[in-house]
Homo-oligomer: A and B are copies of this chain.
Amino acid sequence: MNVLNSIKRPTLLLDRRKCLNNIEKMVKKAADHGLRFRPHFKTHQSVEIGRWFNDLGVRSITVSSLSMAEYFARAGWQDITVAFPVNVREMDAINRLAGRIQLNLLVESSQVTDFLAAKLNSKVNLFIKIDTGLHRTGLEPAATDEVDRILDVVQKSPLLSFSGFLTHSGHTYRAKSVAEIKDIHTDAVRQLSALKEKYRARFPHLIVSIGDTPSCSLVDDFSSVDEIRPGNFVFYDVMQWQLGSCTLDQVAVALACPVVAKHEQRGELVLYGGAIHLSKERLILQDGRICYGVMVELKEDGWEIPSKIQPLTGLSQEHGILNVDKESMQKIAVGDLVGILPVHSCLTAHLMKGYLTFDGQTIDHLNARTNFLQT
C-alpha cells in the first residue's frame, strides 16, 4: 500500500524503523553505562509508542504534566516521574495518582514540600530540582540551606520519601558546538556529584537524575549519574541535528504537506502546513536563513533527504513557504506532497495529535483525547 495516496491534509508521518532504532540505541546506551533509563514521554505522548519502550524492558518513565501521568497510568505504567514543579492547584490529581502508582514528584521549595506533607493521602517520592545552569527552575547547588529545610520536612512526613537530585541541563540547547554540550554536561554532573557526596550519608539510596537529549546522545562519561531521562531522541528533529545530537537521517517524523502553489521566480512552494501543524519553533541556519523545517522527498515506504537543505522560511497559521532549488521546483507539482522534518518534534506531535506509519497504522497521541477543561 502507499499511504501517501490517502493523505489530503497535513499529516504527521512516522518512520517506525527510525523510531525503533532511536529507542534501541538509547536503551542500549543506558544499559552499557549501568544507568536507569527513565525516558521522557512528553515528546511522543503515545500509549502505542510507549509500548515499544516497554517491549525493550523499560518500566519507568518521565512525563511533564499530571494529565500525561494519568494517561500513561491508565495504560499500565506503574512508575512515573512528573518532571515539572509541583502545581499545588492539582492536589486532587496528585492524590488520585499517588494512590495507584509509584509517583515521583519534583520540588524546589520547602513551602511546597510543606504543602505536600499536609495534603497527601498516599506515598510519593520526591526529587529536589537543581538548577545546573539553565536558570529556568530549580535550586542553585549552593542553596543547601533550602535543601536541608526540604529534607527536614521529608523526614518528618510518613508519606514523603527522598529520591535524590534531578536536573535538566537544557542550556545544552544553546550550545554552539558538541564540545560545549559536553562541557555543560560535565559541569552539571560535577555539581550534582557534590550534592550526592554531601547527602549520601543521610540518604544512602539517593540518586542523581539528568535529562536532556543532547547530553544523553553525545556524552559517554556519566560518572556519578544514576538515571537518564531524555525524551526528544525518540524522534529527534532539525534542532537536534543542528546541535549535533543526531543526523538528519535519524529524524523519525515528517509532516506530509500538500503543495498548493508554486512561485518559480521566488523559488518558493506554498504548502498546506503552517503554525497550527508544525509550531512556530524556528532556528537560524548557517547561511542565515530562518528555518521552520527542512524538506524531504516522500516515498512509498519512507523519505529521502535531498543533498541540499531546503528550508521552510515562512509560516502562517495554515501556510508554509518552502525555499527550493531549481531541480525541486521543476520536479514538484501543485497537488504533490512534500515532507517537512520539524524543528521541534515535541511541539509538532502535540499539534498534530497523532501519527500515520507507512504501513497505514494510525498511532494515538494524548492530545487527541483531552478536552480543554479536564480536571
B372 lies within 8 A of A368 (CB): yes
Known contacts A64-B317, A270-B136, A354 near B372 by CB under 8 Å: yes
A85 lies within 8 A of B261 (CB): yes
Residues from chain B with a CB closer than 8 A to the CB of A282 are: 280
Report the bound CA distance from A136 to B335 in whole Å. Answer: 18
A7 at the interface (CB under 8 A from B): yes
Residues from chain B with a CB closer than 8 A to the CB of A8 are: 87, 89-90, 92-93, 375
* Count of this chain's copies in the oligomeric assembly: 2
B347 lies within 8 A of A373 (CB): no
Residues from chain B with a CB closer than 8 A to the CB of A347 are: 275-276, 280, 317
A223 at the interface (CB under 8 A from B): no
Known contacts A108-B261, A136-B270, A137-B261, A362 near B352 by CB under 8 Å: no
* Closest-CB distance, A293 to chain B (whole angstroms): 13
Residues from chain B with a CB closer than 8 A to the CB of A365 are: 372
A133 at the interface (CB under 8 A from B): no
* Closest-CB distance, A365 to chain B (whole angstroms): 7
Residues from chain B with a CB closer than 8 A to the CB of A260 are: 84-87, 137
Residues from chain B with a CB closer than 8 A to the CB of A157 are: none
A9 at the interface (CB under 8 A from B): yes
Residues from chain B with a CB closer than 8 A to the CB of A362 are: 372-373
Q: Out of B88, B280, B373, which one reaches A334, CB within 8 Å?
A: B88
- Closest B residue by C-beta to A373: B362
A281 at the interface (CB under 8 A from B): yes
Q: Out of B65, B111, B280, B375, which one reaches A280, CB within 8 Å?
A: B280
